Amino acid sequence: MEAYAKSGRPFFHQGTPAAAREMMQASLAAAPAPVGLPELADVVNESIEGPIGPIPIRRYTPVGAAVGKAVYFHSGGWVVGTLDHADSVCRRLAAQAGCVLVSVDYRLAPEHPYPQPFEDAYAALLWAAGALPGPLLVVGESAGGNLAAACTIRARDEDGPEIAGQVLAYPATDHDFETASHKEVGGRNWLLSTADMRWFWDHYCPEGIDRNHPWIAPLRVPDASKLPPAFIRVAQLDPLRDEGLAYGRKLVEAGILVDADCDANMLHGYWSAAGLVEAATGAVTEAGNWMRERLHVRAQAY
């Protein structure tokens, strides 16, 4: 937080999407090199076809035999974020889970508002289900967590591919800005604010789009039964904390197996600090272990 303050970094809602993307690229270039990245067998940039056009992806292959695959959606409020921003987390998850992980460079709002980012996400899920062997997981951070959860709902409702589990890191599950966590920390501008989230939502779902649809706000799904088991981690000092935990409770109430927890004193996006911050390293490691276990459980049924 001190480093951000010294850099004079503006808040997302104070500028344009183009300015926000430039700021994110500058932050990535100025950040220290990731610490303790695991060895992988291969990392390859590819492209797949989607309903709107080509979708860039990055495929991470672990050392040794892979048990299944995971599709990952990056953070960034549906407006910013790239494959590079998610690279270190994806490397850690692929290695820890022992699976092939596909990171998806879905289209971004406001140039491509809902449903285009979601259509890209679901198309990538369908591609991975058919093109790669073994059971399937879906993973996402923040807005990517929103897309991941929404994909599981769509897959269930449309008899899509079977998903062995969903990993959601500080997911955006609703557009309610009156939660306790929004009121407690949303005005403090600790890397993400309530004003930022309003800005992101307005770009992703402009006027005329029904934000209550469960493919947009997964927390509003009327029936959460038959959704995949979930691993959910939220940050204590994050405006999105309560909606992530609420989604976990909704799944539990529907009889879904859920591993949910709140990491104390962490900020939104803390998984990117894995290797530097103990709680972040622990959360990503736990996620990878959970992924590995789910894949092995499902692989036994194949």
Pairing of β 165-169 and β 230-235: parallel
Pick from 219, 222, 206, 243: nearest CA to 115: 206
Pairing of β 54-61 and β 230-235: unpaired
Among 112, 182, 203, 268, the active-site one is 268
CA distance 1 to 189: 10
- Residue 222 has what DSSP assignment? S
Instruction: Tell me, yes or no, if 142 is annotated catalytic.
Output: yes
Among 103, 142, 193, 272, the active-site one is 142
CA distance 274 to 135: 26
User: What are the two backbone dihedrals, phi and then psi, of residue 204, each rounded to the nearest 5 degrees?
Assistant: -75, -45
Among 105, 120, 238, 263, the active-site one is 238
CA distances from 269 to 12, 25, 143, 204, 283 (A): 14, 16, 11, 19, 12
* Residue 110, preceding peptide bond in cis (omega within 30° of 0): yes
Instruction: Tell me, yes or no, if 47 is annotated catalytic.
Output: no
CA distance 73 to 95: 17
CA distance 83 to 144: 12
Instruction: Tell me, yes or no, if 268 is annotated catalytic.
Output: yes
Give the DSSP letter string of 158-217. Answer: TT-----EEEEES--------SHHHHHHTTTTBSB-HHHHHHHHHHHS-TTS-TTSTTT-
What residues act catalytically? Answer: 142, 238, 268
